A and B are shown apart, each in its own frame.
Chain A
């Protein structure tokens, strides 16, 4: 579904990605873990063209990502950001229907029905007519997930979706993500939630300094890493003291 082959990317002279290759199959949940600045977010941002990669190829649903295919890629692949980035001048429901109505040109009535169903799914239906600033960070992120789902994507990219939330709000967002995973949504998730990665991820990739150091099954990589660098990273994250 999403395939990287030898992808490299530099910001100026600083290489952020070097020779990244991996594949996420349809229905798989893959977690990208690694230290800050390791290039995890850049991997996601190259998929939907928020960054352009310098070399190698990225394929989404069998077609290479390029300036020409980018609009289609963005229709097919949704993104959930670290900060929810809801549009502050639109209601919760309008945020969810913005893409379907204005980008995909769906009939507003249909988009509203589907939008309400999605808000119900993430537990935010009663907030449909609120504005984002009337919601907590966790609630905003749930709406962000509904907004991503409204595009009927074939895959969703999550860029540290819980890192900016109050700790007690993290659970409600992770539970919705786990439901999506159980329903078979293809997901590529940058996260520091190691417990979630261990329980939910089919695959885990440990990235450091722009290189995939190790990849494996979620539980296997997080409980029994083969690589010293992976082990060191996990040890620091899981036992910060």
Chain B
């Protein structure tokens, strides 16, 4: 027992540093994926058919390729083409692109949930398409889609562990290295699991609270 406590005291600083990288990675990828996702969602409503078809294809391609393969592509293949990214940047870019398509779907679902009668009310006030989008469809759509965004964030937090495969010393990678060097697999992986839970459970509770608030309105 005392050995276990000692191990925990020894491993925790390393794992917490890994968790810090995991959280940085998640936040950066979250923000970038939301921005990209919004771009896809807006382009998907373009009045030009070619743009809509392009976005639909892009979404299917990105969604159809495993995230780990996308990361490998960005980290190992892009350097051959002269694009050499640091592991962290490659991880952020890879996760952002991969997740942007889910964010786009979140936006689309939100936009489509907006009551068409409210859009008519905006139209009859003389609003143009852009003003309608900015003043009515976006704020209302994002509001209803908030729980989906929360769930996507939890998925992203967990999938950031895939970045361990391109040498980013995030939580999973830090733990792997510890486990390999100490053979204390049980202790290390239990701590990793607990740390992921400690980060995701507050998020999940936040999502639940949001859902309750939205259903009340």
In the bound complex, how far is the Cα of B55 from the Cα of A53, in angstroms? 34
Among A73-81, A174-182, A229-237, the stretch that binds chain B is A73-81
Chain A: residues with Cβ within 8 Å of the partner, total of 23
Q: Are A98 and B135 in contact (CB under 8 A)?
A: yes
Q: Are A87 and B136 in contact (CB under 8 A)?
A: yes
Which residues on A sit within 8 Å (CB–CB) of B143?
Answer: 89
Q: Are B123 and A103 in contact (CB under 8 A)?
A: no
Interface presence of A71 (CB below 8 A): yes
B136, closest chain A residue (CB):
A87
Interface presence of B118 (CB below 8 A): yes
Contact among A89, A99, A133 with B125 in the assembled complex (CB-CB below 8 Å)? A99
Which residues on A sit within 8 Å (CB–CB) of B217?
Answer: 88, 133
Q: Are A99 and B126 in contact (CB under 8 A)?
A: yes
Known contacts A102-B131, A103-B131; A85 and B126 CB within 8 A of each other: no
Least Cβ–Cβ distance between A94 and chain B, in angstroms? 10
Interface presence of A50 (CB below 8 A): yes
Least Cβ–Cβ distance between B82 and chain A, in angstroms? 46
Interface presence of B121 (CB below 8 A): yes
In the bound complex, how far is the Cα of B143 from the Cα of A223, in angstroms? 51
Known contacts A50-B123, A98-B135, A133-B217; A87 and B128 CB within 8 A of each other: no
Q: Are B125 and A83 in contact (CB under 8 A)?
A: no
Per-position contact with A for B118-148: 1 when CB-CB < 8 Å, else 0? Answer: 1011111111100100011001100100000
Least Cβ–Cβ distance between A162 and chain B, in angstroms? 17
